[in-house]
Structure 1
Amino acid sequence: MIRVSLPRLGRIRTHESTIKLSGRIQTGRARILSATVRYERGRWFVAFQVETAREMSRVSHPDTAVGIDLGVKHLAVLADSSGQTRYEPNPEHLDGVLKLLRFHSRRVSRRQGPDRRTGRKPSRRWEKANRERNKVHHRVANLRADALHKFTTRVRAEYGTVVLEDLNVAGMLRNRRLARRVADAGFGEIRRQLIYKGRRNLCTTIVANRWSPTSKTCSDCGAVKAKLPLHVRVFTCDTCGLVLDRDENAARNLLALAANCTTGTGVAGDQDTPRVSKPREADRKTRRQRPGRGGRAGGASLPHQRQKETGDRRQDTEARHAPR
């Protein structure tokens, strides 16, 4: 039986097996750097940061690039340079247990829970109902993490170059119609896993600019549409007549950005960079300011413009004080 010694807590028995970790530590192949203890939904977890040697896994197609477009209807659409397109289905783990979660949440709300203002402690029936609800949340979280790890590991073991889009996940979560599905899909977690697993395998990760019109651009002729609402799921080009799925068209455009970065014919974003878009603070500093009137603060102008403004002010002053 394996136990963990934590400061101020003593020796605690672990729920999961740590035989492999203890074996590597005893043989000198691993070293524990730190431990992080956290509390989530009624359970305590301890995570170890371990320093160990890891063999680099070889990619089956190192010269093949793939463009990945993340979505809600399909979790991901993959378009590679060999001409193949694959659709990764969205498991929707949370939608399958919403009815069960509503049932457990009603049971919890109808029982006497804790109150910080009065110092009231929860009843045993409330604690029991809360544990049953937390089990459902833990199961959904574990299923989601397992599916995302399998998907990202499969992609990184096959392709040498992966092109992603810098999605504004925080902005998507403000949409009350899409917030639950976007949070259940885990767009940010997919990007994080693809980036660090690519560095582990010495592969390339390209993050496209957030403002690049990948969905509005025709992947065949390059024409850009003015508007493309979100409810329109089929892309129709007005120039060449291409009719294609919206997500597949975006995945092909992301794949084209990989060729531009490789050949140097375009700029698709920095490689292995979590954030490509310009922050708001820098945007405010570099934003063009309006020229001030009468030399007031905040009117930034060039030297020749300042000379012209000085002359204009002098003429205005002479015209105002001239006798009529």
Structure 2
Amino acid sequence: MKKFQPQPGFVVQAYRFALDPNAAQEAALRSHCGAARAAYNWAVAWVTASWWQRKAEESYGVPEAELTQWRPWSLPSLRKAFNTAKHADLRFADWWADNSKEAYNTGLANAAAAFDNYAKSRQGKRRGRKMGAPRFKSKRKARLTCRFTTGTIRVAADGRHVTLPRLGTIRTHEPTAKLLTRVQAGTARILSATVRHERGRWFASFQVEVKRDLVRVARPEAAVGVDLGVKTLAVMADSTGEIRTVPNPGHYNQALKQLRRASRTVSRRQGPDRRTGRKPSKRWEKANAALGKLHHRVANLRQDALHKLTTAVTAEYGTVVVEDLNVAGMLRNRRLARRIADAGFGEIRRQLDCKTRQRHATRIVVADRWYPSSKTCSGCGAVKAKLPLHVRTYECDACGLVIDRDDNAARNLAALAAASTTGTGVAGDRDTPVVSKPRGADRKTRATRPRRKTETGRAGGAALPHQRQEEARDRPQAEALTL
């Protein structure tokens, strides 16, 4: 699907409202989301059928030229094939006309994106962990969601209703004045709408093209370094030397006692079992809904706290310096994973990047992942060889500076804002020329992988990562996707 490009002076923003549908409207919402899931499963089955057929024919010795053709998974191809199959397929023949075409298009678009991500991952063109082939979505576990891109999508003039294709007018749980005012003034245009079921409540998210004027920050000449942590959520040091600390709310830890009690209640009820086909009891569904509400409340509290923090930072400083943290790697630490996830390091970085560009057009500087902000002395620039995590006070062996570990890191990050023009990026060494790091190293040494043994028992040299990627890139797409 082609990505929408906003006009100059406009930004794409989401407006999310909770819905209050009646019984008939909720049944229609569930029907549309179920139709999207059914279309997704059909697309996965239709594409992978040719994969398994070719695999079976190859086992019988069928020549390459006579094998079954690969089925394409682009959205136009899936839509054309689905329109042909929906009249003959018994799974869709009786009820496909009850829902909007956008419901089926949602499932087909998701399937096309899933196959694209899988192909890019297999060919080494996608960052992150390798993705497996798309799988069927379970009726019980699949998230209820549906996206509308065409048809009647608007906000009612009374500010308490929204209109969606085939679903009609649905009352909202909260006023829609913040979007209605912009639409009536001509400074906003609704592009699409997505309905989603979360924690027992329906939500409608509108993708809107909004005309937004940039707001001048309070201190455009000041720079701030933001050092994220677990004990304190953020330590901010600006270019004037002022240091501020934001405590970690720890919303999950505060609700942990209630979550454990609710989880224990759910485990003692008769839940679903796919192996035996057992359906959940009413008491299990009630207890599971209560547990979901607790998790939803924690998520809302965390989101509210992060938005307040990032909004305050981007509205005050002209330059914001953050670290390029490896959050996915940090979550592998079983001792700190829960607290790191509760702090929301990745979400803070995303919000800062978005708000600095779209609201204030301020400068954001991302420190290198291997920049030793905690090990570097903010007074003289000396770098410690090791600084364990349990050592919370930084003591410089060169100049004798004694400072809190997080305060020291925040000062060094703030100095990076002017490092490219005035110095080395060390808080106490702004006017000196750039010098190399100790021993000339500014990257962590790459760990060598052990050599794998071949079937004969000898150590065989495996292909290098870049060689494997080049081989997969040169290999035809069909062969790269063979199951």
Matches within 5 A, 1:1-324: 2-7=160-165, 9-199=167-357, 200-261=359-420, 263=421, 265=423
**Alpha-carbon shift at residue 126 of structure 1 (Å):** 1.1
Query: 1:140 offset after TM fit, Å?
Result: 0.7
Indicate conservation of the 8 Å contact 2:322/2:349, yes or no: yes
Moved more, 184-193 or 53-62: 53-62
3-state secondary structure, aligned to 2:341: helix
**Structure 1 Cα separation of the partners of residues 178 and 196 of structure 2:** 23
CA distance in 2, matches of 1:99, 1:17: 34
Any idea what the Cα deviations from partners look like across 1:294-324, whole Å, max 9, x if unmatched? xxxx89xxxxxxxxxxxxxxxxxxxxxxxxx
Counterpart amino acid of residue 291 in structure 2: R
Does the Cα contact within 8 Å between 2:226 and 2:320 map onto a contact in 1? yes
Write the distance in 2 (CA, Å) between the matches of 1:21 and 1:119.
Answer: 46
- Greater Cα offset, 116-125 or 141-150: 116-125
For 2:288 and 2:195, locate their aligned partners in 1 and report how far apart those are by CA, in whole Å: 22
Q: Distance in 2 between matches of 1:246 and 1:227?
A: 13
Q: Distance in 1 between matches of 2:423 and 2:379?
A: 18
In 2, Cα distance between the equivalents of 1:27 and 1:65?
36
Alpha-carbon displacement from aligned partner over 1:221-276 (angstroms, at most 9, x marks no partner) = 11111111111111111111111111111111111111113x165589xxxxxxxx
Distance across 1 between alignment mates of 2:404 and 2:309:
22
> Does structure 1 conserve the Cα–Cα contact (< 8 Å) formed by 2:235 and 2:244?
yes
Distance 2:368 2:361 in 1: 22
Q: CA deviation at 1:10?
A: 4.2
Report what 1:309 is aligned to. none
Instruction: Give 3-state SS (helix, strand or coil) of 2:249's partner.
Output: coil
Letter in 2 for 1:237: C
Change in Cα spacing, 1:216 to 1:30, as seen in structure 2 (3 Å) is same
- Letter of the 2:375 partner, please give it: K
Moved more, 14-23 or 131-140: 14-23
What is the one-letter code of the residue matched to 1:135? K
Q: C-alpha distance in 1, partners of 2:211/2:224?
A: 29
Worse-matched range after superposition: 48-57 or 208-217: 48-57
Structure 1 unpaired stretches of 5+: 269-282, 284-297, 300-324
> Matched residues in 2 for 1:172 and 1:76: separation?
17
Could you say which residue in structure 2 is the equivalent of 1:318?
none
Contact 2:189 2:208 in 1 (8 A): yes
Which structure 2 segments of 5+ residues have no match?
A: 1-157, 427-445, 447-462, 465-483
User: Normalising by the residue count of structure 2, what TM-score does the alignment of the two structures yield?
Assistant: 0.53
Q: Give the deviation of 1:9 after TM superposition.
A: 4.2
CA contact (8 A) 2:221 2:317 kept: yes
Equivalent AA in structure 2 for residue 149 of structure 1? H
TM-score (norm 1): 0.78
Figure out how many residues of one structure are paired with residues of the other and give that number: 272
Q: Structure 1 residues 64, 27: closer, same or farther in 2, change over 3 A?
A: closer
What code does the residue aligned with 2:259 have?
Answer: L
The percentage of aligned residue pairs carrying the same residue is 69
Quote how far apart the aligned CAs of 1:7 are. Answer: 4.2
Given residue 211 of structure 1, which amino acid in structure 2 is its aligned partner? W
Q: Deviations over 1:69-95 (max 9, x none)?
A: 000011000110111011111000010
| 1:133 to partner: Cα distance | 1.1
For the aligned residue pairs, the C-alpha RMSD in angstroms reads 2.3
Cα distance in 2 between the residues matched to 1:8 and 1:99: 44
Tell me the SS of whatever aligns to 1:111: coil
Distance, in Å, in 2 between the alignment partners of 1:211 and 1:194 is: 21
Q: Classify the secondary structure of the residue corresponding to 1:157.
A: helix
Distance in 1 (CA, whole Å) between partners of 2:273 and 2:199 is 18
